[in-house]
Amino acid sequence: MTTSEATAENLSMHVTFVMRSHPRYLAVVRATVGQLAVTAGLEDSESRALVLAIDEALANVIRHAYHGRSDQRIELECHAAAGELKFRIRDSGDPPDPTSIGSREIGCDQIGGLGTHIIRDVMDTVSYRTSPEGNCFTAAKRLRRQS
């Protein structure tokens, strides 16, 4: 994990995780992303929502790209600068099926399947890209100006 110095006027932080696809590591990520969000100026409720969105994205990699295998590599980059928080998740698992991303209807009685809805609701931009090197999920949350 690496970090850069942050100042109130010119916030610049970068945190990188390289971890195995085991759910036990998600608690460390949640704590760090939560602190990053608060330090960047998000209110508690926004911070909790952001943590949930990133947690859902990582859980989706573990569940869908790696089919629950806990020994695969995941990279998460968190960057706070220029008025926004950016997150990039890279994996080498199965690529996401664009037809099934967010396909579950909100309000349905089925358990689960709302992760992508949560992610899109919380984040300002979301994108998925697949290449021969693997999958890349990118999301950003704009920060409000502090007065």
Does residue 17 fall inside a structural domain?
yes
DSSP-derived 3-state class of residue 91:
strand
Boundaries of domain holding 121: 13-142
Instruction: Give mean pLDDT, residues 95-122.
Output: 66
Does residue 2 fall inside a structural domain?
no
| CATH code of residue 127 | 3.30.565.10
Token code pair at residue 46: 């926004």
Q: What is the pLDDT of residue 82?
A: 81
Does residue 68 fall inside a structural domain?
yes
- List of residues 6+ apart from 16 with CB closer than 8 A: 1, 2, 75, 76, 77, 78
Enumerate the H helices of 61-114 as residue ranges. none
Does residue 47 fall inside a structural domain?
yes
Question: What is the domain count for the chain?
Answer: 1
Q: pLDDT tens-digit profile of 46-57?
A: 999 999 999 999
Q: What is the pLDDT of residue 55?
A: 96
Does residue 20 fall inside a structural domain?
yes
Average pLDDT value for the chain:
85
The whole-angstrom separation of Cα 65 and Cα 147 is: 42
DSSP-derived 3-state class of residue 129:
strand
Does residue 45 fall inside a structural domain?
yes
Q: What is the pLDDT of residue 98?
A: 67
